[in-house]
Amino acid sequence: MSDARSAAKRLSLPAILAFAGTSLPVAGLAVAISVQLPRYFASHLGVSLAVVGAAFGTVRAIDIWLDPMLGLAMDRTRTRWGRYRLWMIAGAPILMGALYMLFFAPEGATSLYLIGWLLVMYLGLSILTLSHSAWAATLATSYQERSRIFGVLAAVGVAGAVAVLAIPIIWAKNHTDAEGVQAMGWFVIALIPFAVAAVVARTPERITRDSHDHFKLSDYGKLFTRGNVLRILAADLCVTLGPGWMAALYLFFFKDSRGFTTTQANFLLMLYILAGFVGAPVTAWLANRVSKHWALIVNTTLYSLGLTSLMFMPKGNVLAVVPVMVILGALASGFGVMIRAITADIGDEIRLEGGKEQIGLLYALTNATTKVAGAFSIFLTFNVLARVGYNAKEGAVNTPAQIHGLELAYLIGPVVFVMLGGACFIGYKLGAERHAEIRRQLEERDAQYDEAPVIETLTAEGTATVKT
């Protein structure tokens, strides 16, 4: 592809920011689900730790099969309005309704209630995240441009996460912790329609015509025979499970082990996430110099070392812990950036060799591993706490032995899994030079299919066009 064509396809920063709108509620919701919602069920609604853990685990066991089916459907979708645009519009109301039922669940809610509405919530969330990630892969085709776009998406997601975390801090003076969590729910619900509207109305979408339009289920089964696919799935599982494990125990650990108040713990967590504004673009910058997989290996190694230092920080001293949390947050923000960008590169490799667009399913698989990791972290950690006798009730006093068990659970799991996630890319070969050759061959082949429908809603001049 010529430099002129590359420049023409390069989206401006305002266009990327408009596309990143969905990252705001999705990232904010991810924080609420992993940090606040499980504790809200256990502490405020009186649901036992074992029931909360079992509910999240059961939902993931069911939900894991949903993402591949959605990916299949998205890959086969062809309409005059685009492939992913309609899916995003459909996912928004599903997610909004489920969030209301969860954030305003009645006291004493049963496990069936939680499981049912968690399933609906994850259906809506899957539709939004899958269509958004796959759409991003079609917007960015070069090795460097993908790092740039996914870096911006991560940075915008940080804004959504920080906004959600700020809500209980702002409400702490005149409201209870439970009311702060409910306010977070209202914020995410209200943000979803505006964010999705910004994406679907302002972002160009191109549906490539594959050299083989006929799809068979066996084509998708072959993905699991590819080394790079297995590598990315294992890495995504590990780098999500580590921080997810930590997030599930975060408030328990920082309050009962480190001696911080809820407000102080939320403030430190907000700094941790806010550091992604710097960490995501820095990781993208590093990736374009040492390659994406080595950038991920560097981040996972430094993150694991930094996490262990929390035990040596003075208890209740916010200023002493701030630098550690900022560094950890900056490093963690790069995990998702690199995983998503590497997934897009592997998708190009698969399309070149197989002649079929399977990026929707590929992101569905990584999304499924992310979900499994998130739920598995809650299932594991909450059951471990129950085994050591830790009492999660509001106002409960735990013994030193119970606190020590909490500390071990908080540190060992994340360090082990994050290091394994980085190790998955030792020996990885799909670097910048190899990807450039793949893109060159794809561009030559795609040039034979100029009749492929192209949906443009935002051109370089800002005008809307539709080409079929």
How distant, in Å, are the alpha carbons of 27, 150, 151, 246 from that of 23? 6, 11, 12, 22
Residue 289 lies in a domain: yes
| CA atoms of 446 and 99, how far apart (whole Å) | 42
Sequential DSSP letters for 125-194 = HHHHHHHHHHHHHHH--SHHHHHHHHHHHHHHHHHHHHHHHHHHHHHTTTS-HHHHHHHHHHHHHHHHHH
Per-residue pLDDT of the chain (468 residues; tens, 9 = 90+): 433 344 445 677 788 888 888 888 988 888 787 777 777 777 767 777 777 777 777 777 777 777 778 877 887 777 777 778 889 999 999 999 999 998 888 877 777 888 888 889 888 988 988 888 888 877 777 777 777 788 888 888 888 888 887 887 777 667 777 777 888 889 999 999 999 988 888 787 766 555 444 555 666 677 778 889 999 999 999 998 888 888 878 888 898 888 898 888 888 988 888 888 888 888 888 988 888 999 999 999 999 988 888 888 888 899 999 999 999 999 998 898 899 889 888 988 888 887 777 777 788 788 778 777 876 777 777 777 777 777 766 667 778 888 887 888 888 888 989 999 999 999 898 888 888 888 888 888 777 654 444 444 434 344 344 443
Number of domains in the chain: 1
| Domain of residue 405, CATH code | 1.20.1250.20
Q: Given phi > 0 = left and psi -120 to 50 = alpha, else beta, which region is 462?
A: left
Q: Answer whether 0.85 is exceeded by the pTM.
A: no
Long-range contacts from 161-165, C-beta under 8 angstroms, 24+ separation: 161/27, 161/28, 161/30, 161/31, 161/273, 161/276, 162/270, 162/273, 162/274, 163/24, 163/28, 163/187, 164/28, 164/29, 164/31, 164/32, 164/188, 165/31, 165/266, 165/269, 165/270, 165/273
Which distant-in-sequence residues (6+ apart) come within 8 Å of 45 by Cβ?
Answer: 105, 106, 107, 108, 109
| CA atoms of 102 and 104, how far apart (whole Å) | 5
Residue 423 lies in a domain: yes
End-to-end CA distance of the chain: 22
Sequential DSSP letters for 402-450 = HHHHHHHHHHHHHHHHHHHHHHTTTT----HHHHHHHHHHHHHHHGGGT
- CA trace torsion 165, 89, 244, 39 (10° rounding): 60
Q: In 164-299, where do the E strands start and end?
A: 205-206
For the chain, the residue count is 468
Residue 4 lies in a domain: no
Which distant-in-sequence residues (6+ apart) come within 8 Å of 32 by Cβ?
Answer: 164, 181, 184, 185, 188
Give the Cβ contact number of residue 355 at 10 Å: 13
Residue 2 lies in a domain: no
Residue 282 lies in a domain: yes
Domain that holds residue 390: 14-211+229-467
Residue 8 lies in a domain: no
**Sheet containing 205-206: order of strands:** 205-206, 454-456, 465-467
Task: Report the chain's C-alpha Rg in angstroms.
Answer: 22
| CA atoms of 313 and 318, how far apart (whole Å) | 10
Sequential DSSP letters for 404-415 = HHHHHHHHHHHH
- Contact between 198 and 130 (Cβ < 8 Å): no
Kindly state the DSSP code that residue 389 receives in the 8-state scheme. Answer: T
Residue 87 lies in a domain: yes
- Contact between 361 and 223 (Cβ < 8 Å): yes
H or E, element range at 111:
helix 111-139
Residue 78 lies in a domain: yes
Residues 180-209, buried b or exposed e (16+ Cβ, 10 A)?
bbbbbbebbbebbeebbebbbebbbbbbbe
- Contact between 189 and 96 (Cβ < 8 Å): yes
H or E, element range at 455:
strand 454-456
